[in-house]
Amino acid sequence: MMRQFLIGDPVPDFICQTTANPRYHFNTVAGHYVVLSFLGSINHEKTQKVLNFLLQKAKDLLPKKDLYFFGVSIDPKDKEG
C-alpha cells in the first residue's frame, strides 16, 4: 500500500531531472517549506492560471516564508519553454 503524505510531512529524498540540473538532489531544500505541484503540462489553461496566481503571490510569500516552489510536468515540450 502506498503511503499517504499530509501537508507538513517530510518528503523522502529523491533525485530528479530539472531544467537547470539533470540530477537535482531534492534534499538540498531540506528544512525549508516546499510546494511540490504536479502540473501535467504548462500548455493547459488551468495550469497556466495556477502558475500565474503563484507567480503573483510569490513576490510576497517566497522571500519572507523561506518557501520554494517545484512544478512537475509530464509534457516533454515543457522542458523547452
pLDDT tens figures, 43-72: 899 999 988 888 887 777 655 667 788 888
Domain boundaries, the chain: 15-79
Give bridge partners of residue 35 from the DSSP assignment.
69
Whether pLDDT at 76 is above 80: yes
Whether pLDDT at 77 is above 80: yes
What pLDDT is stored for residue 4 in this prediction? 81
Look at residues 46, 33, 48, 38 and name the one whose alpha carbon lies nearest to residue 16.
38
Are 34 and 70 in contact by the 8 Å Cβ rule? The answer is yes
Number of helical (H) and strand (E) elements in the chain, helices listed first: 1, 4
Of 16-25, 34-43, 54-63, give the range with the top mean pLDDT.
16-25
- Could you tell me the pTM of the whole model? 0.67
Grid coordinates representing 40 are: 501535467
**Distance from C-alpha of 51 to C-alpha of 73, rounded to nearest angstrom:** 12
